[in-house]
Structure 1
């Protein structure tokens, strides 16, 4: 039997040593959420290897260091309204919820209905559905009914900032999004200045491409 708790602690310690995990909030969240519970049984062995893993529909669950990095960049705290584009298995949404001490709400959109259902099952099993609300649809359009959002997390690469997502970001909000630039992708932190995007590059990344409803 794998001691998942010990493996989780070793990974978190490593991410702290690398300077990726910087806050107590993100450390606590990464220690609390069992990544193995968000993986198909055949992948659980790799739950605490710091690597992305391919799941159904050709999608991936991000590497733990990327989940931690994006959560740090979002500056999560209790009481926020967070929009996530790209639910995947539900793991990242659960980490966001824990980083907010389960006080706040995470709205998350998944393009693939089957994957959204899988995420709901995972989140329900671990008691997150009071904090995390899963929707099926075109993530580039956001969820205008629930806007504005204090934080927007995008886990799929887009050719530019989707205009509807930027509209739904609150005036003092933060968006973290990978943007395609030629043959590469760059992770950006986006804020609003005079209702225009201020983009701060962070690092090169590799995400699946964002899917759009009209495709």
Structure 2
């Protein structure tokens, strides 16, 4: 499968145009090991380090849809000065999803949390021109509340610490066991939706 075929598959599955445009612009091959370049645009996860993978494109697109970034884009387009939304990815790996988000919401402050030192080094090098993307450890975050949070690895149970880091009207998308959950914080309540049938590597801890 080549890039055009992948884009066609995303279109056929009905993903939003702003998400498809991000996949068109971002080169997935920049974020995977050289020995796997021939598999770049297959719709499957690929290993990038021990116990770390880059998720398959359709799964990433689905999670980005659940993040409801389009709502932030619509608000931003009405503002004379774009709001600087705060977005956090847990388990940012080689930085591919961070760059996709950056193309969707370029005015945002985007944080990536990654504990694999090799991946931190690689992703910082790849994304060095993107000044609004920061990859760090949890204790080095300069913000404690976020408009959107995405976890790219699976938790054993609902991570309440991430729910506590959501702003009002915020959205958390997070794999728990073999399901993807969407959590929305509205009027100090959390609305939860479950989407079963996914496989993720477990979240790694230091």
TM-score bracket for this pair, using the shorter chain length: 0.7 to 0.9
Corresponding residue to 2:10 among 15, 22, 33: 15
8 Å CA contact retained: 1:85, 1:142: no
The structural deviation recorded for 1:203 is 3.3
8 Å CA contact retained: 2:183, 2:192: yes
Between the aligned partners of 2:159 and 2:46, the Cα distance in structure 1 is: 26
Between the aligned partners of 1:156 and 1:142, the Cα distance in structure 2 is: 20
Where in structure 1 are there 5+ consecutive unaligned residues?
1-5
Structure 1 residue aligned with 2:137: 136
Structure 1 residue aligned with 2:90: 85
1:207 aligns with 2:200: yes
Between the aligned partners of 1:66 and 1:122, the Cα distance in structure 2 is: 22
**Equivalent residues in 2 for 1:164-183 (5 A)?**
164-180=161-177
Q: Which runs of 4+ in 1 moved over 6 A?
A: none
The structural deviation recorded for 1:202 is 2.1
1:106 aligns with 2:120: no
Structure 2 residue aligned with 1:154: 151
| TM-score calculated relative to the size of structure 2 | 0.87
Structure 1 residue aligned with 2:42: 49
Other structure's SS at 1:103 match: coil
Please provide the CA RMSD for this pair. 1.8
| TM-score calculated relative to the size of structure 1 | 0.84
Between the aligned partners of 1:142 and 1:74, the Cα distance in structure 2 is: 24
Other structure's SS at 2:191 match: strand
Between the aligned partners of 2:192 and 2:205, the Cα distance in structure 1 is: 23
Corresponding residue to 2:121 among 110, 117, 120: 117
The structural deviation recorded for 1:57 is 2.2
The structural deviation recorded for 1:82 is 0.5
**Mean Cα displacement is larger for which, 82-91 or 203-212?**
203-212
The structural deviation recorded for 1:197 is 2.8
